[in-house]
Every structure is written in C-alpha cells, then in structure tokens.
C-alpha cells in the first residue's frame, strides 16, 4: 500500500500542468531578485551583478528546444533577405497558452545587449530583466482576475518602433478597463492584492500605479520601482475612450481602431496592443508631429528630474539598437521585420494599414 501511494504521488507531481510550474518559476525568480535588489538599494547602489535567473531562462526553460519548423515559415523581404516569420498568437493565448512566448523568447535570447554612447540605455541589463519579470507578474495577475489591458503610451511606442521597451525608457504604461482599476483599488484597500499577488496599488496626482509591494519604497513616496502606470479606458456603444489626467492625451475614437487587441512583441514577450497601434498613438500624442530619439527628462527609477536628457539623430543608432522596418505584404497588410543595423532578425505579419513614414529613421505620427 505504501509503495502504491508513493507511485501515485509521483504520477500526480509529474502530471502537474505546465502552467503551474511556469507560474512558480516566475514568482520564485522575481522574489529572489527583489531580495537582492532591496539589499543593494538599501546600500544606495544599483545592482551590477548578474541576475540569478535571467528572464529568457524563465520564459524558455533549458529543457525546451525551439525548432524552426515550429515557426510560421520564412519570407523574403524587399531587400532580398530570407528571414524567419514568427506567427502572431491570438490574444486569447496570453492567458491560456503557457508556451506562447517560446519561439519569440528563443529568438530574443540570441540578441546582444548593447548601449549606444550617443543615447545610452537608461536601465542596466539587470534592471531591464527585473522590469520584465515584474511585467510577467502583472500579466499573470490580470489573467487570474479576468482583466483586459493593453500596452500604451511610451510602452506602445517601443513595441511599435523596436518590438521592445525603448532603450531610453525606464517605466511601463498600459491602458486598462475603468472597472478593473476600481477592483484593484478595492483589493489593495482590503489587503487581498498584496497578499495574493505581492502587488500594491496607489493613486497619486490623478495617476494610477501598480508596484511590487515587497520592494523598497522610493522615498518620500509610498511605492517602489518597478511600477506600471495605468490609464483607465471605457467603451461606449461605438467608441472607446481613455480617461487621462492630461487632456491633450485623451481620445474618443471608433472601437475598430483599438479593439480587438492584438499581440505584439515586447522583448521576449507577446503582449496585448491596440489593433491599429500607430493610429492610436497619433490620436493620443496630438501635438507630436514626429517621433524623436530623445531620453526623457525624468528618472522613474528614483522619481526625480534628470539633469541631462540626451538626444540624437535616430540614424546614429543604426548599429546599436534594433528597429522595425515595414513593407506591404504580398498577402495583404503589413510585414514587419526587426533589424539590427543591416541585418534582418525576424518578421511578423499584421492585417493593418501601412502608414507612410513609419520606417527608420523618420517616424511621422498618423493623424485623424
């Protein structure tokens, strides 16, 4: 009988759903890194040692292999290069498919980390990994709570132009259902949000934030970095509207521009984005005529102004940072190909308009 019970226990353990194991590895790595980060932050230092578990090993465990036959074939770009095509997953896979990031993460793991002297990265490699791990924790919480959300503002600009966080950006921005923000505020107040997910919520100067609750607070504020800024949105019968404290960033547009959300590469992750991302950026940044390669004047990690906000002609970053090139697809829609310098890395296909001036190194905002 004891032998039978032992055998049954082994079978049950080996049969645990991969999503549970996947979730545990994410939570374990994030907590482990936050402990190290807090110790160094307490000493007034930014962590410079290697991550104990990097983000790609979280997303693509060592015992998994990626075969090119699992990709969506290859394509020949207008420049004559043959590149692998990644299949864009359906947004429903964000929560239902624990292996949704496998191919993208494997591709991302081959990329070299660079920082351009003309416009350096604002985050170290370790800080960037920490921010992504926090983003995974946020994503998993939203999945558990059934919350709809999308990359937006600076994060969406990064996803559209670089398939990643902009190298000179240091925070995360998303839009989220208004009712969901009310739920998060309620859960924070009754203590269930930090207890269940280790996530905190704060409303400050009209801005909603989620942050890593066990993290060291940024004095004199009540939140920690990494954090994500939330902007609520709501739907009417025909339109979608955001509720932004900045009146200039408010929009009220047909649902078809934003919904249904689609998945876009954001580093090694597939994350939700508006259906017509560039048009949505145009109606949000109404006063911005052209996207510029310019560091923000604010340091979100330490919540203080930057003394020197560098800028450069985007052409100067050709060999240092990855940028997305667009062309009309033979299948209709747009073929997006991520490049580093003159080398194409991978392509994805989207059924959306091909706007003029959306290629490196001059991006003109789409206006309504």
In tens digits, the chain (368 residues) has pLDDT values of: 444 444 444 434 444 444 444 444 444 444 544 454 444 344 333 332 233 334 455 554 444 443 333 456 877 777 777 899 999 999 999 999 999 999 999 999 999 999 999 999 999 999 999 999 999 999 999 999 999 999 999 999 999 999 999 999 999 999 999 999 999 999 999 999 999 999 999 999 889 999 999 988 999 999 999 999 999 999 999 999 988 777 778 899 999 999 999 999 999 999 999 999 999 999 888 888 889 999 988 888 888 888 877 899 999 999 999 999 999 998 899 999 999 999 999 999 999 999 999 999 999 998 76
- The pLDDT of residue 249 is 80
CA separation for the pair 302, 294 (Å, rounded): 19
- The pLDDT of residue 325 is 98
CA separation for the pair 183, 212 (Å, rounded): 18
Handedness of CA 351, 155, 131, 225 (dihedral sign): negative
Helix (H, G, I), strand (E, B) or coil at 339: strand
Helix (H, G, I), strand (E, B) or coil at 342: coil
- The pLDDT of residue 71 is 56
Q: Say which CATH topology domain 73-350 has.
A: Beta Polymerase; domain 2 (3.30.460)
Handedness of CA 292, 298, 302, 307 (dihedral sign): positive
Residue count of the chain: 368
Helix (H, G, I), strand (E, B) or coil at 281: helix
Name the maximum alpha-carbon separation found in the chain.
75
CA 345 to chain centre: 19
CA 71 to chain centre: 21
Contact call for residues 30 and 205 (beta carbons, < 8 A): no
Look at the block and give the residue holding tokens 């109404």: 286
Angstrom CA distances, 32 to 29, 44, 61, 355, stand at 5, 19, 17, 44
- The pLDDT of residue 21 is 41
Terminal-to-terminal C-alpha distance of the chain: 73
- The pLDDT of residue 305 is 87
- The pLDDT of residue 309 is 76
């Amino acid at each position: 009988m004891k032998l039978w019970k032992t055998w049954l226990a082994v079978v049950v353990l080996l049969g645990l759903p991969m999503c549970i194991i996947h979730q545990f590895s994410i939570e374990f790595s994030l907590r482990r890194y936050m402990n190290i980060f807090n110790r160094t932050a307490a000493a007034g230092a930014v962590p410079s040692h290697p991550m104990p578990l990097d983000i790609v090993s979280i997303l693509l465990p060592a015992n998994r292999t990626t075969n090119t036959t699992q990709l969506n074939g290859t394509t020949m770009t207008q420049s004559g290069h043959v590149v692998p095509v990644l299949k864009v997953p359906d947004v429903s896979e964000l929560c239902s498919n624990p292996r949704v990031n496998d191919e993208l993460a494997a591709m991302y793991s081959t990329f070299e980390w660079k920082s351009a002297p003309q416009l350096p990265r604002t985050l170290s490699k370790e800080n960037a990994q920490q921010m992504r791990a926090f983003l995974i924790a946020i994503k998993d919480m939203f999945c558990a709570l059934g919350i709809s959300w999308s990359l937006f503002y600076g994060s969406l600009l990064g996803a559209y132009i670089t398939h990643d966080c902009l190298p000179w950006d240091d925070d995360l921005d998303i839009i989220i259902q208004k009712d969901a923000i009310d739920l998060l505020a309620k859960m924070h107040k009754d203590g269930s949000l930090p207890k269940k997910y280790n996530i905190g919520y704060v409303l400050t100067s009209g801005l909603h934030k989620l942050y890593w609750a066990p993290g060291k607070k940024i004095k004199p504020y009540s939140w920690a970095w990494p954090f994500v800024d939330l902007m609520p949105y709501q739907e009417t019968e025909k339109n979608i509207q955001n509720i932004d404290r900045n009146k200039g960033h408010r929009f009220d547009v047909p649902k078809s521009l934003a919904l249904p959300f689609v998945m876009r590469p954001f580093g090694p992750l597939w994350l939700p984005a508006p259906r017509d991302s560039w048009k949505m950026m145009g109606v949000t940044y109404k006063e911005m005529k052209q996207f510029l390669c310019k560091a923000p004047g604010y340091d979100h990690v330490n919540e203080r102004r930057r003394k020197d906000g560098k800028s450069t002609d985007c052409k100067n970053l050709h060999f240092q940072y990855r940028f997305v090139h667009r062309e009309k697809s033979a299948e209709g829609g747009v073929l997006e190909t991520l490049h580093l310098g003159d080398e194409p890395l991978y392509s994805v296909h989207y059924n959306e308009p091909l706007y003029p001036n959306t290629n490196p190194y001059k991006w003109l905002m789409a206006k309504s």
